[in-house]
Amino acid sequence: MNFSFRLLAPAATLLALMATPAAAESSVSAPQRGEIEAIIKDYLISHPEVLQDAMAALERQQAALEAEKHRVAIKDNTAALLASPHQVVLGNPQGDITMVEFFDYNCGFCKRAMSDMFDLISTDPKLRVVLKEWPVLSQGSVDAAHVAVAVRMQDPKKYLEFHQKLLGGRGGADAARALAVAKDIGLDPARIEKDAKSQEATATLAENFHLAEMLGLNGTPSYVIGNEVVIGAVGIPALKEKVNTARCGKATC
């Protein structure tokens, strides 16, 4: 029997059986199944690049499905992502593109990514940035985030200074350190402590956690730019590319 025929015929049979597994039990004998498996095994050993191609195709398919899920989730949660009364807005409030960042005050990658955000704001006058506290790393993170919300409640103009000092400082963030930073920038610590326990603080973090779940986020920092979700501290070039893609459909506008 010609080898190409031997390969193609059983392979076609196997594909059909894979599509209809119930029929496989009755239509293929044990010797035939063994022959099919041996031929395919030999082929794959001789052509391992086929497996690489298959894995690459699977990864592309999964990435496309994930991107579509993100687009749907962003569309369904646009108001909460871009116009929530619980969020902080930096950069140009009337900017044409919004970058939403989910962060944790104890996230080392967020600390390093903070300079990326400031670089984007300083070089892109049409960029609007939304910050969302997403304390996922520790109880200290949760307590610090409650204080951050209280800072925004007391004086939104002071939030950026607070954010820089707490996220950019050394050591772990917790309630005591966050309160110390708030006091250091001139805020009323007694009011901060009160507001940190308020319904507004609870509602803010609950909304952020809900959004993160809907978007399928799995780490900090995470960004929403246009209709894309970007997970991780990917760096300035990648963030600029995403902003440009959202703005003009190309990596460079």
pLDDT of residue 24: 47
| Residue of 12, 63, 217, 44 whose CA lies nearest to 135 | 217
Cβ-based burial of 109 (10 A; exposed 0-12, middle 13-18, buried ≥19) = middle
pTM above 0.85, yes or no: no
DSSP-assigned states of every residue in 184-234: HTT--HHHHHHHHTSHHHHHHHHHHHHHHHHHT--SSSEEEETTEEEES--
CB 131 within 8 A of CB 84: no
Strands 222-225 and 127-133: unpaired
Q: So where are the chain's domains?
A: 3-76, 78-248
pLDDT of residue 15: 44
pLDDT of residue 54: 77
Options 3.40.50.410, 3.90.580.10, 1.10.3720.10, 3.40.30.10; CATH of 78-248:
3.40.30.10
Cα(175)–Cα(144) distance, rounded to whole angstroms?
5
Quick: pLDDT tens for 17-29: 444 444 445 566 7
Q: Is the peptide bond before 221 cis (omega within 30 degrees of 0)?
A: yes
Quick: pLDDT tens for 207-238: 999 999 999 999 999 999 999 999 999 999 99
Cα(227)–Cα(71) distance, rounded to whole angstroms?
5
E strands in 92-180? 97-103, 127-133
In tens digits, the chain (253 residues) has pLDDT values of 333 333 344 444 444 444 444 444 556 678 788 888 888 888 878 888 877 887 888 788 777 777 788 899 999 999 999 999 999 999 999 999 999 999 999 999 999 999 999 999 999 999 999 999 999 999 999 999 999 999 999 999 999 999 999 999 999 999 999 999 999 999 999 999 999 999 999 999 999 999 999 999 999 999 999 999 999 999 999 999 999 999 999 999 9
- Please state, as a whole number, how many other Cβ atoms lie within 10 Å of the Cβ of residue 203: 14
pLDDT of residue 158: 97
pLDDT of residue 217: 94
Query: What is the helix (H) or strand (E) element at residue 88, kind and residue range?
Result: strand 88-91
Strands 97-103 and 88-91: unpaired
pLDDT of residue 26: 53
CA count, 13 A, side-chain hemisphere, 18: 8
Place of tokens 């909304």: 207
Cα(4)–Cα(43) distance, rounded to whole angstroms?
11
pLDDT of residue 33: 82
